[in-house]
Chain A
Amino acid sequence: MTRFRPGRLLLQLSCLLIAIWLVAPTLVVIPMSFADRKSLAFPPQGFSTQWYANFFANPQWFGSLVVSLKIAAMVAVVATIIGTMAAIGIERLKTRAGGIIRVLLLTPMIVPGVVLAVGIYAVYLDTRLVGTWTGYVLAHTLLAIPFVVIAVGANLAVFDARLETAAASLGASRLTTFFTVTLPLILPGILSGALFAFVTSFDEVIVSLFITSPQLKTLPVQIFSSMTRDADPTVAAVGSLIFLATTLIIGLGLIFGLRRRGA
């Protein structure tokens, strides 16, 4: 074993560096957000909370946050229902057709964002969906469905279908069986699918950039336009807030998920 030691040390060292490289860039925005002056020079000078104040006071910023939260909530509901239905359908098909449908439903994850965005923009221009709630929710739902299909599908794969047969043999109707047996057992998958759908919508920027309007703008679009306009540390304040919120949500989801699995 002693012969392996230098290799092991090298492995530990490189992993430490990679972990820092993965995490540190994300954390840079936190000190940045307390900068004193309107600049993105690092390390920031002085200390102030003016950028947080600006975020909450400026309707451009806070309004776009509210828009994003509403859209993400709607997407979470729509994509979770549609995606869960699809995952159950795929699981039931069990055949080649099921596999093909699954692959098709996962393609939005890998198609180039700008090509999709240009296409959606073209269609939305003709159907007057640019800058509308429906437009955002539809586009984000397309991008969120794969995550729901994966999450619920993974749960269904370990689901014992004989439980349903048992319920049916005891006289339960299909709907009763679904709501009292199937649904509670695949709930963890559905919940994590909903969480992923929410985050996908909340984070989506490319398609949103194309279908945005001055009246209805999501937060990532606002962040992006601010970044291309000037060096405004408000962006860093938003980044820190999102980081905090997402970490809290995912942390809670993780705890909830672990407890579920343990139960």
Chain B
Amino acid sequence: MSVLTGRAPRGALLLTLPAIAVLLLVMAVPFGVIVLRSFAEPVPGLANYVWFFQTPVNLTVLARTFTIAFWVTASCVLVAYPYAFAMSIAGPRLRLVLIMCVLVPFWVSGVVRTLAWVILLQDSGVINRILLALGFEKVRLIRTQLGVTIGMTQVLLPFMIMPLYAVMRGIDLRLLQAARSLGAHPVKSFFQIYLPLSLPGVFAGATLVFILSLGFYITPLLLGGPQSTMLSTLIQQQVLSLLSWGRGGAMGVVLLVATFGVLALAGPFMRRRYQISGGSR
């Protein structure tokens, strides 16, 4: 029998075994160690978690991590929506150019991209020169929350544009024409027809961007300062600088729970939306 339609599912399971082994050894075991240490070091119990939730600095950073993730996600939705819409209605050649613009930053080294933002955002950087030339005041961007948000939004934008585009491409534009021929104002037909149909893409992209933002490390570290520290940096400090595996582990577990919590909350919501819109599934 053939490889794809073969009978024994045991053979198929066997094929996935090496990948699952890597997953277990390099992800599941390390996560297990972190969870274990968060409860076991230096003394068994919940001490590390009690410490985490009773230390104001940690709570501030946790709240800030969610705040930055929220603003990055909101900015991504606002910027990506018109762009993905243009991609979905553009002719083949223009569409290719637009897709290339999305992908070019996607496959250029992440660290180098952050370097570019350091150059642009620094106090004597390009953005501040433009602001001065236009007669505005200098704005502090590097080592601020605003700078981190700007940099992260640009880095994460492709993750928002692609799912949005995938959904928008499947929307039948004749629905809008039909609405207009029945007398609906373009603005009204957009809000009543196009927007609801595109929402699955918005939810999918927003969930992805939000989750990735929560765990961002390099960009906040290089663009941010003490006032824009995110949870990932704090974890790294606990483990590498303070050698406190228990506390670092507890923070890691909090971040993991937050990530999968958001995913679990958004998951069924997205699926239901897909069904209502009669989209791809």
- Residues of A at under 8 Å CB distance from B? 3-4, 7, 11-12, 14-15, 18-19, 21-23, 25-26, 28-29, 32, 40-43, 81-83, 85-86, 88-93, 95, 97-98, 101, 104-105, 107-108, 110-116, 118-123, 138-139, 141-142, 145, 149, 156, 159, 161, 164-165, 167-168, 174, 177-178, 182, 199, 202-203, 205-206, 210, 220, 223-224, 227-228, 235-236, 238-239, 242-243, 246-247, 250
Q: In the complex, which residues of chain A have a beta carbon less than 8 angstroms from the beta carbon of B47?
A: none
Q: In the complex, which residues of chain B have a beta carbon less than 8 angstroms from the beta carbon of A182?
A: 2-4
Q: Are B108 and A22 in contact (CB under 8 A)?
A: no
Q: Are B2 and A164 in contact (CB under 8 A)?
A: yes
Q: How close is A27's CB to chain B, nearest CB, in angstroms?
A: 8
In Å, the complex CA distance between A174 and B202 comes to 44
The secondary-structure label for the interface of chain B is: helix
In Å, the complex CA distance between A177 and B214 comes to 46
Q: How close is B165's CB to chain A, nearest CB, in angstroms?
A: 13
Q: In the complex, which residues of chain B have a beta carbon less than 8 angstroms from the beta carbon of A82?
A: 18-19, 22
In the A-B complex, list the 4 residue pairs whose CB atoms are closest, starting with the nearest.
A119-B30, A112-B215, A164-B2, A89-B15
In Å, the complex CA distance between A90 and B19 comes to 11
Beyond known contacts A21-B154, A86-B20, A111-B256: 10 more, CB 8 A cutoff? A28-B126, A86-B19, A107-B27, A112-B232, A114-B215, A115-B31, A115-B255, A122-B245, A206-B217, A220-B110
In Å, the complex CA distance between A178 and B6 comes to 12
Q: In the complex, which residues of chain A have a beta carbon less than 8 angstroms from the beta carbon of B217?
A: 112-114, 206
In Å, the complex CA distance between A14 and B78 comes to 11
7 A-B Cβ contacts within 8 A?
A40-B118, A81-B18, A92-B4, A112-B217, A141-B26, A224-B111, A242-B112
With most chain A CB atoms within 10 A of its CB, the pick from B108, B110, B120, B222 is B108
Q: Which residue of A lies closest to B185 (CB)?
A: A3
B85 at the interface (CB under 8 A from A): yes
- Partner pick for A18 among B79, B115, B126, B211, CB 8 A cutoff: B79
Q: In the complex, which residues of chain A have a beta carbon less than 8 angstroms from the beta carbon of B27?
A: 107-108, 111, 116, 119, 142
Q: Are A118 and B2 in contact (CB under 8 A)?
A: no
- Partner pick for B82 among A15, A43, A93, CB 8 A cutoff: A15
- Residues of B at under 8 Å CB distance from A? 1-6, 9, 11-16, 18-20, 22-23, 25-27, 29-31, 33-34, 37, 79, 82-83, 85-86, 98, 101-105, 107-120, 122, 124-126, 154, 157, 186, 208, 211-212, 214-215, 217-218, 222, 232-233, 235-236, 239-240, 245, 248-249, 252, 255-256, 259, 263
In Å, the complex CA distance between A26 and B1 comes to 51
Q: In the complex, which residues of chain B have a beta carbon less than 8 angstroms from the beta carbon of A7?
A: 186
Q: In the complex, which residues of chain B have a beta carbon less than 8 angstroms from the beta carbon of A97?
A: 9, 13
Q: How close is B241's CB to chain A, nearest CB, in angstroms?
A: 13
In Å, the complex CA distance between A224 and B111 comes to 7
Q: In the complex, which residues of chain A have a beta carbon less than 8 angstroms from the beta carbon of B117?
A: 25
Q: In the complex, which residues of chain A have a beta carbon less than 8 angstroms from the beta carbon of B1?
A: 168, 174
Q: Are A86 and B15 in contact (CB under 8 A)?
A: yes
In Å, the complex CA distance between A255 and B233 comes to 40
Q: How close is A109's CB to chain B, nearest CB, in angstroms?
A: 9
Q: Are A41 and B124 in contact (CB under 8 A)?
A: yes
Q: In the complex, which residues of chain A have a beta carbon less than 8 angstroms from the beta carbon of B215?
A: 111-115
Q: Are A89 and B13 in contact (CB under 8 A)?
A: yes
Q: In the complex, which residues of chain B have a beta carbon less than 8 angstroms from the beta carbon of A14?
A: 82-83
